Amino acid sequence: MKSILLGLKRHYWRFFASIFLCYSALWTITESIAFFYPSWNLQCFITHLIFIVISVIIGIIRVHQPRRVTIKINATDTIINIYYGDIFKQHGYKAISVNEYFDSELGEPVSENSLHGMVIKQFFGGHPESFDRAVTNDLLNIPFESVQGKRGKIKKYPIGTTAKIVANGHNFLLFALSNTNLQTFKASSDLLTMINAMNGLFERSRNSTGGEKLNIPLIGSGLSGVGLPSTQLLQFIILYIIDETKRRQICKEIDLVLHESRFEEIDLENIQRQWI
């Protein structure tokens, strides 16, 4: 019902045009049949009522908003699936953005409402120690900068650094997307930083996913967002995935998993049409 109502709001003209065209077509067919077979008595109230019902159904189908679309990247065997759902319920690797310190303390350093915080809370029982151990073990050979005077972790990694960790049977690729203000703990990012972060994520994905699909949220839309509207942000991510895939395949299947709260902001039908 939500998809139908949103479709009526976005494409009301298509709804009424579909009803008119469908009714006109049915009427024309009926008139033609009635001309040759006048004894059939097709021109009655019930016939018109059936026409109206069929036309309205066709109109609803025409404006119904899809919750899932697929884009095939030309000249490759990679597909991008875009849909609304819970990224933690998807199979394959889940790309989760973190700050450059890979912080683990829930509260000011890491919001419980962020995907970063949800990973720690849901898959590590809210225990920073086990999360830190998993990250440290994977980033042993990655250079870092020690930042003294910072609360919590002091190892600062380059933007794009990606850690592969496993928790409760779930595979995660944690990639550094944002910079942290040491006084306020506010994480922030911008478009250039986001590009560098995705570079690191995709490079690690090429070497780590092993044929499994990669699940990506709407990067840059969270608490450390880059400031772009959701539709433009999604378009940019799709464009960058296509560009990187044509340079060198990331993996065969990439899912862009959108949060339900973005449903009214993003028109997936329009997104798909632009990439056909």
* Per-residue pLDDT tens digits for 85-142: 999 999 999 999 999 999 888 887 888 888 999 999 999 988 889 999 999 999 998 9
Give the pLDDT confidence score for residue 233 in this predicted structure: 94
Give the pLDDT confidence score for residue 249 in this predicted structure: 94
Q: pTM to 2 decimals?
A: 0.87
Percent above pLDDT 90 for the chain: 61
Q: What is the mean pLDDT of residues 6-32?
A: 89
pLDDT at 38 over 80: no
Domains delineated in the chain: 2-63 (no CATH), 68-274 (3.40.220.10)
More confident residue, 150 or 5: 5
Give the pLDDT confidence of 149-159 residue by residue, as tens digits: 777 788 999 99
Q: What CA–CA distance (Å, rounded) separates 196 from 216?
A: 16
Q: Residue 272 forms beta bridges with which residues?
A: none
